[in-house]
């Protein structure tokens, strides 16, 4: 299993950790931000393929912000894939 550590930009959260095994998300931990939303995201992405999650979360906005914690998770996963490939 591999763990991504990502520093989000433009959102309330300060750090995101994502555990991945064979392109499947095993866990997501968001430090800071909205605890309830982070917990919901954690449960929804668990045991899903990273490409599916990128497609679902990419471009989600939070209020007037141009990004959100879900969008930042998608960015972290895209960055992971680019570095890996």
Structure pTM? 0.95
Predicted pLDDT at 67:
97
Predicted pLDDT at 85:
78
Could you list the residue range(s) of the whole structural domain that residue 28 is in?
2-84
Instruction: Dump pLDDT digits (tens) for 3-62.
Output: 999 999 999 999 999 999 999 999 999 999 999 999 999 999 999 999 999 999 999 999
Looking at residue 49, what DSSP letter applies?
A: B
Q: What is the CATH number of the domain that holds 21?
A: 3.90.1010
Q: What are phi and psi of 23, to 5 degrees?
A: 65, 15
Map residue 62 onto helix, strand or coil: coil
Task: Count up the domains in the chain and report the number.
Answer: 1
Long-range Cβ contacts of 18-21 (<8 Å, 24+ apart): 18/73, 18/76, 18/77, 18/80, 20/50, 20/80
């Amino acid at each position: 299993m591999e763990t991504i550590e990502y520093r989000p930009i433009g959102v309330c959260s300060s750090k995101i950790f994502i555990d991945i095994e064979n392109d499947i998300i095993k866990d997501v931990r968001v430090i800071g931000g909205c605890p309830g939303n982070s917990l919901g995201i954690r449960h929804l992405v668990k045991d899903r393929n990273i490409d599916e999650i990128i497609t679902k979360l990419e471009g989600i906005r939070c209020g007037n912000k141009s990004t959100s914690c879900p969008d930042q998770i998608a960015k972290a996963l895209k960055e992971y894939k680019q570095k890996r490939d």
